[in-house]
Homo-oligomer: A and B are copies of this chain.
Amino acid sequence: MSYFRPEIEAMAGYVPGEQPRTDDCIKLNTNENPYACSPAVVEAIRRAASDRLRRYPNPMAEPFRQRAAEVLGVEPDWILCGNGSDDILTIVTRALVGQGQLVRLPYPSYILYKTLAGLQGARSEEVYFEPDWSLHDVFASGRNDLRVVFLANPNSPSGTMIAPERVLEMAERLPCPLLVDEAYVDFAETDCMDLVARCERIMVSRTLSKSYALAGLRFGYVVAQPHLIEQLVKVKDSYNCDALSIAGATAAIGEQAWLAENRAKIVATRARLAQAMRKLGFKVVDSQANFVWATHGERPVSPIFERLKQARIFVRYMNYAGWGDGLRVSVGADEQIDRFLEELERIV
């Protein structure tokens, strides 16, 4: 007999994107930012690396909350910080969803939502995206046992977005909170942050992993109305953000000019990448994120993925059961994308 919960035993566990050990490769598989983070972040971390580390960090990451509140135009008590936005998603799920209850998510999307439901012993209902990557009204339908709805916006792997007015419309019809996961939103044209004040059911999560080039730092946050934050706090580990990541994140969120510049570079490369892949016969969805989603009408993409890998170019091959497969290619630096396109042309 096992010591573990049957839900755990039955799980395969989430497999993160491959992290090749050597530096002699082009890594376009986990949507990391290709550019170095702001020097202000490195400096802040180095300052925080001192004998102060013997002290516990601020339990609410207060310095970040203060600075982020100014940047986002909300009050600090609307913000809860986490050890990456995965920590935020975990906290939200544990706070809202009990055993046997229901979580709704779009499909295909970030696989973690389903894993988190499974960890709670909850069921999940996957609503397929329409062919144009919109969502049917059924995504907003009420059910008694529905406890939370997740929406990655922009979505992964598609890079597409549901417009804010549509998100609001759906949230207003839902009986439960809607977590809008804006991990990639800094690369998009619009966002749902303003909706949080208009509808208490909308919570918006963000991360510093992608647009601030700080995946290694593990820092994310959620913005929600204060009476929701108050409950979420109870679920988090007491000191869920460490002193170094708080220092780095606080510096990062203040670097809005750096962000704008970084974003502009990536958005420009994204357009070039999509266009070039289309020329090579791929169907590439218009992306609002730092990656593109590509399928091919005539040939299987899995061998293309393998050939790229042999050439030390890592992209993400995604195969969604009952839906289909494709390549998710992170927007790298210009020279990386040049190398990728060169190799791709050779292959196809």
Contact A51 B30, CB 8 Å, known A5-B98, A16-B238: no
Query: Which of B49, B119, B147 sits near A235, CB closer than 8 Å?
Result: B119
List A123-180 residues whose CB lies under 8 Å from chain B: 147, 176-177
Contact B214 A239 (CB under 8 A): no
Quick one: closest B residue to A57, CB to CB?
Answer: B216
Is B57 in contact with A16, judged by CB distance below 8 angstroms?
no
A276 within 8 A of B: no
From 220 to 278 in chain A, residues with beta carbon under 8 angstroms from any chain B beta carbon are 228, 231, 233-235, 237-245, 248
A242-B213 in contact (CB<8A): no
Q: Kindly report how many copies of this chain are found in the complex they form together.
A: 2
Number of contacting residues on A, CB 8 A? 77
Which chain B residues lie closer than 8 Å to A190 at the CB level? Answer: none
> Are A234 and B59 in touch, CB under 8 angstroms?
no
In the assembled complex, how far is the CB of residue A168 from the closest CB belonging to chain B, in whole angstroms?
Answer: 17
> B228, A242: Cβ atoms under 8 Å?
no
A321-333 interface code vs B (CB 8 A; 1 in, 0 out): 0000000000000
B231 A243 Cβ-Cβ under 8 A: no
Query: Does B99 lie within 8 Å of A98, measured CB to CB?
Result: yes
Contact of A83 among B5, B8, B58, B237 (CB under 8 A): B237
B215, A9: Cβ atoms closer than 8 Å = no
Our pick among B32, B33, B42, B57 for the contact of A218 (Cβ within 8 Å) is B57
- Closest CB of chain B to A3's CB: distance in Å? 5
Collect the chain B residues with CB atoms within 8 Å of residue A216's CB. Answer: 48, 52-57, 242-244
How far, in Å, is A93 (CB) from chain B's closest CB?
Answer: 10
A92 to chain B: closest CB distance in Å? 10
Contact for A42 among B50, B59, B213, CB less than 8 A: B50
Alpha-carbon gap, A121 to B34, bound state (A) = 43
Q: In chain A between 1 and 43, which residues have their CB closer than 8 angstroms to a CB of chain B?
A: 3-5, 7-9, 11-14, 16-17, 19, 27, 30, 32-37, 41-42
A3-B228, A41-B53, A216-B244 known; 9 other A-B pairs, CB under 8 Å?
A3-B96, A5-B97, A8-B231, A42-B49, A42-B50, A51-B213, A55-B215, A56-B216, A86-B237
